[in-house]
């Protein structure tokens, strides 16, 4: 199997575009955290479930108390990561057209930095949600929250997928910039394959 410069760069570009789209969708949607209330104890048929995103909370009967300082950090980190990913994509296009190993390495580092910001934002959101649930339980009591189930939504899943694609894109650009690394990986793969074949 031969991996050429073009294949590596095009695959990294596709991963970057997908990552950008997934992160933009995750940031713009409101299904990061989902709260479902057991309806067996309710007399009315009103929808009491709620969900939240980075920008808005759709409230039902239960309202979580969110710490604002951590929320502010999340609301800055994820859009900043999106902007860095966009700039990294432009730099990746230019550096791949020029075929400059230095520019490709810089672009890969830039995209990997963007992935660190995405990871930080998503990790902070998970921590933030756990703290909000603990604070709500402290304020209203565990008995009242017994009929409530909480989970992370698909928007958070899109952000995680975006993070994975950002890392893959950065690593592919590093491999394209430094073919000696790719050669070493392929040689290691061949030697392992030969070892297992014997």
User: pLDDT tens digit string along 163-190?
Assistant: 999 999 999 999 888 876 666 666 766 7
Which pLDDT value is given to residue 76? Answer: 84
Across the beta sheet with 148-152, the strand order is 57-58, 50-52, 33-37, 148-152
User: pLDDT tens digit string along 6-16?
Assistant: 898 999 999 99
- Prediction pTM value: 0.76
- Whether 62 has a pLDDT exceeding 50, the answer reads no
Lowest mean pLDDT among 108-117, 146-155, 181-190: 181-190
In the chain, where the domains are located: 5-29+66-140+157-197
Phi/psi of residue 3, nearest 5 degrees: -105, 115
3-state secondary structure 150-165: EEECHHHHHHHHHHHH
Measured CA to CA, the distance from residue 189 to residue 186 in angstroms comes to 5
Mean pLDDT (the chain) is 79
Measured CA to CA, the distance from residue 87 to residue 56 in angstroms comes to 27
Cβ atoms 111, 175 nearer than 8 A:
no
Cβ atoms 114, 166 nearer than 8 A:
yes
Reduce the DSSP state of residue 6 to 3 states and report it. Answer: helix
């Amino acid at each position: 199997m031969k991996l050429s410069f073009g294949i590596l760069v095009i695959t990294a570009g596709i991963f970057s575009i997908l990552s950008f789209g997934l992160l933009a969708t995750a940031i713009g949607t409101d299904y990061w955290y989902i709260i479902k209330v057991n309806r067996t104890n309710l007399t009315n048929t009103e929808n009491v479930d709620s969900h939240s995103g980075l920008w808005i909370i759709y409230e039902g009967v239960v309202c979580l108390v969110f710490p604002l300082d951590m929320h502010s950090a999340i609301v800055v980190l994820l859009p900043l990561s999106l902007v860095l990913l966009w700039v990294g994509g432009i730099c990746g296009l230019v550096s791949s057209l020029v075929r400059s190993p230095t520019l490709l390495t810089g672009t890969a580092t830039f995209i990997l930095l963007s992935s660190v910001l995405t990871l930080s934002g998503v990790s902070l959101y998970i921590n933030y949600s756990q703290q909000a649930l603990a604070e709500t339980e402290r304020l209203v009591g565990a008995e009242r929250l017994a009929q409530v189930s909480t989970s992370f939504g698909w928007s958070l899943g899109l952000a995680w997928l975006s993070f994975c694609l950002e890392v893959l894109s950065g690593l592919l650009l590093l491999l394209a910039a430094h073919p000696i690394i790719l050669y070493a990986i392929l040689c290691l793969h061949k030697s392992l394959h030969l070892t297992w074949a014997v």
